[in-house]
Structure 1
Amino acid sequence: MSEQRGWLNMLRISNSPTIVSNAMVGVAITIHAHAELWSERITTPPLELFTPLILIIAVLLLLYFSGMVFNDAFDAKRDEVSKPDRPIPMGIIRVSQAWSAGFFMLVISILIAFGISVTCGLTTTALGIVILLYTFLHHAPLFSVPLMAICRGMVFIVVVSSFSEQYFSPLLWMYSGALAFYTAVLTFVGTFENQQQSRASYAVWLTLFPAGFIVYTSGIQSPITWGLFIVFTAWIFWAWSNFCSKEKQPVHGMHKLLSGFALLDCIFIAAVGEYHIMVFSLICFALTVAAHRKILGT
């Protein structure tokens, strides 16, 4: 394994399209909140999307990559036994390099966020703190599951804050909670990923709850949303079958749950009728599935 390949593996670059997909949900929430905020006006003022979106995607990717690097740096000794094929145990990347890279990306992300706005900087700092807490506590399921759920659930909040705190709406909190729930289930199932048993496999079906909740509360009249929910259900069934098959393919199951972030995002976006934005999340889903064939996402 080359050093370049080692860094790509450590960064879990194959999962990065799901971060971009999450950002698109934040855009959809912002557009929806902007329309509601100015609903009583005859003329709605323009909403600048492009520049804040590009900057906040960079912020989120840096945060995500820093978290991945922190995990490998913290687990270096443990991985010598359990995951000797990881870049640090193989000697491709030094632990000191990983820690330095992680903190560099974390600091840069916070600086960029404060450059966008104070609110965005504060929400990004809060997310960075949770990422660090997860790094040091992720071997205790009592902490790892809720902390990872908070990490992912905060993504929507960070994105919306990059546009304006005026767009903090009930829809934002509902979507953030739904994403956090999905992440909590995924994290719980992931704790059994390397075990040759399927005792956590039935928990996979709990990932349907946030999607079903959003469809029922927001997108019940949209045939596109219902169609996406059916596709999402089939995808989760496929993930579940990987976990409980005779061949025991938990990595494939985890990959489907990870790429499922983007499918869930499609449901979120479709539920508020922003179908043109949903296309980007569909592309992110396809990119994630393709990338998992080359680089592991776990």
Structure 2
Amino acid sequence: MRQSKIFAHLQLTRPANVVTAIADILAGFAIAGIGIYLTSFSNQDAYLIDLAWLVLATIGLYAGGVAFNDVFDADLDSVERPERPIPSGRATVKSAAIMAFLLLLMGVIAAYQVSMTSALIAFAVALCAVIYDYWGKHQNFLGPINMGLCRAGNLLLGVSVVPDLVEKFAFMGLIPLVFVAAITMISSGEVHGKNKKALYGGLGMYLIIIAAIVILAFTIGGKPLEVIPFVALFAYMIFPPLVKAIQKQEPKLIGKAVKAAVISLIILNASLSAAFAGWLYGVLVLILLPISLWLARKFAVT
């Protein structure tokens, strides 16, 4: 019984999704110019320690944020998704809320070990996550933006390994913001289907993201050729399931499109990493993909 309760609370944290958040931090390191140290023999122990703290921070922030989602959705899930941990009785609203709060707190404290800038970004991400869980997801326009801000902040949390660069590269947060907003928009039909406008909107936003990564690789990143394989893989992962969802607009197919996009966040981060730190660092980030895919078979992604 105890093992069942532990597993139920682990389910609330969406482990496969948490791995995608770790990829955000690694991409942030690449943008900050630190990624190169992780694929060389340079003696940069301080950066490795900072990486460990920021990975711990993002684990707490993401896991706590998605757990709060189920806390606020307990009544709705009892009708639409009774198999989830809380409505099934394997976890309680109180225990889930306590766990979620402690995870968010852990995220902020871990980020503080790197810098005050990191802690402030972590706090902002935690706040955005709770606002989305309680209010934002019910808003047709602001909801996707709210969710996107969480992921944008997470990328900048990685950049904050060099605090002075956060302001310079703040605009980079628009890439995960637009992508996650697109996923959130597409997922609006995951239960009932029939959201053709949202599906087409998501398709257009995906195209914008790909164009932005390629442009960044040619301009700021300086690795235009090295980013091409990663962008190609990214397109291969996100477009086929979305096209099928557009054609039939069935909840099951929309769910598959959302799942593919969530997992593809790792490929998005690998693409950004390759654009700024080269193909080897991009591969390092991409190693997280099979881990996330394996976890996605064990735990729900949406």
Normalising by structure 1, we get a TM-score of: 0.88
Report if the CA contact (8 A) 1:84-1:90 is conserved: yes
**Cα 1:273–1:118 shift into 2, 3 Å:** closer
Match of 1:22 among 8, 24, 27: 24
**Cα 1:45–1:100 shift into 2, 3 Å:** closer
1:109 corresponds to which residue?
A: 107
Report if the CA contact (8 A) 1:218-1:272 is conserved: yes
Q: Does 1:268 align with 2:268?
A: no
1:194 corresponds to which residue?
A: 191
Q: Give the gaps of 5 or more residues in structure 2.
A: none
Report if the CA contact (8 A) 2:148-2:181 is conserved: yes
CA root-mean-square deviation: 2.5
The CA deviation at 1:197 is 2.9
Give me the whole-angstrom Cα distance separating, in 1, the residues matched to 2:244 and 2:7: 27
1:278 corresponds to which residue?
A: 282
**Cα 1:281–1:154 shift into 2, 3 Å:** same
C-alpha deviations, 1:159-198, integer Å up to 9, x for none?
222x23122264x223211111111111111111112335
Q: Does 1:250 align with 2:254?
A: yes
C-alpha deviations, 1:59-92, integer Å up to 9, x for none?
1110101111111011111111111111100000
Report if the CA contact (8 A) 1:178-1:211 is conserved: no
3-state SS of the aligned residue for 1:26? helix
Give me the whole-angstrom Cα distance separating, in 1, the residues matched to 2:292 and 2:183: 16
Q: Which moves more between the two structures, 126-135 or 233-242? A: 233-242
Report if the CA contact (8 A) 1:33-1:169 is conserved: no
Report if the CA contact (8 A) 1:124-1:158 is conserved: yes
Give me the whole-angstrom Cα distance separating, in 1, the residues matched to 2:280 and 2:36: 17
1:175 corresponds to which residue?
A: 172
**Cα 1:118–1:180 shift into 2, 3 Å:** same
**Cα 1:115–1:271 shift into 2, 3 Å:** closer
Report if the CA contact (8 A) 1:24-1:277 is conserved: no
How does 1:1-298 map onto structure 2 within 5 Å?
2-31=4-33, 48-137=46-135, 138-161=137-160, 163-168=161-166, 170=168, 172-197=169-194, 199=196, 200-205=198-203, 206-219=205-218, 222-244=224-246, 246=248, 248-298=252-302
Report if the CA contact (8 A) 1:270-1:278 is conserved: yes
Give me the whole-angstrom Cα distance separating, in 1, the residues matched to 2:34 and 2:69: 36
The CA deviation at 1:245 is 5.5
Normalising by structure 2, we get a TM-score of: 0.87
Q: Give the gaps of 5 or more residues in structure 1.
A: 36-43
